[in-house]
Amino acid sequence: MKRLSSSILLAGIALNCLVPAISQVPEVAVPKLPDRVKLDGVLDDAAWSKAAKVGPFVNNDGTAIDDERTFVRIFYTGEALYLGWEMSDRDIEATLVKRDSRFWEEEVVEFFLTTGPLTRYYELQWNPLGGVFDAIIENRLDAQGKSLKFTGDWDYTARGMRSEVKVAGTVSDPSDRDRSWTVEVRIPFADLNTAAPAAGTRWRGNFYRFNRGGNRPAQKQAWSPTRDASFHQPSRFGTIRFLP
């Protein structure tokens, strides 16, 4: 009995030491606002000025980004979560439009979110041409919280989700200098298989961007950098806290 207790204690200590504590990842406090957004890709609605804002993103290795910055504004209503993405970008390159394309091989922004355990989360993506990706990821983690292997359920569809993109520039014309692209997203809680979160609820999630252009290597941007080659390190997800 004594041996059993000490092994449980040791396991607890090991987990505490190695899994990143929630205090080591960023937190965003998300306000509840009336739904008066015109979903047109333009973030000039009054709600966006009252929304929470995360960013600028950093490189996924944790280093700062000087230009081509990324911000996400966030709020929620009784029915849905809203995201307003802003990407400054001198060269916007994208060709894929079909749902569930491999958008990450071009330019894309990504939202990973779990309302429960870190081993199962939604992966949602939007690209500059209005392309949408939605899947549910199952990710096996080791005792340190590091991903061993993940698989995706591509059959999942966020049926009520709506998004609109606005590009300031020209997509796939590198001869000119683009300015930015923005994405306005409405994600009904029903698509996340949950009711609206009660005030004080904390979910875990992360925001990412693949930025490309010219002959430069792909730039991996993150809100909470995973400091790994992969974005699929859910122990590094930030905390999304819902205000009253």
Stretch of 8-16, 17-25, 84-92, 94-102 contacting Ca ion, by CB under 5 A: 84-92
38 binds Ca ion, rule: CB under 5 A: yes
Question: What gap in Å lies between CA 199 and CA 244, rounded to an integer?
Answer: 5
Give which of 196, 187, 189 is closest to 162, Cα–Cα.
187
DSSP assignment string, 209-221:
EEE--TTPPPEEE
Judged by CB under 5 A, the residue of 30, 33, 45, 183 near Ca ion is 45
Q: By three-state DSSP, how is residue 43 classified? A: coil
Subset of 101-160 contacting Ca ion (CB under 5 A): none
- 65 binds Ca ion per the rule CB under 5 A: no
The residues, ordered by sequence, that sit 6+ positions from 173 with a Cβ below 8 Å of its Cβ are none
Q: How far is CA 184 from CA 9, 143, 197, 243, in A?
A: 47, 37, 21, 21
Residue of the chain from 61, 138, 153, 173 that contacts Ca ion (CB under 5 A):
173
Task: Sort strands 202-211 and 180-188 into parallel, antiparallel or unpaired.
Answer: unpaired
110 or 178: CB nearest Ca ion: 178
# chain residues binding Ca ion, by CB under 5 A: 13
Residue 213 binds Ca ion, judged by CB under 5 A: yes
Residue 130 vs 169, nearer CB to Ca ion: 169
Applying CB under 5 A, the span of 7-15, 114-122, 203-211, 230-238 interacting with Ca ion comes to 203-211
Q: Return residues touching Ca ion (CB under 5 A).
A: 38, 40, 42, 45, 89, 91, 169-170, 173, 176, 178, 211, 213
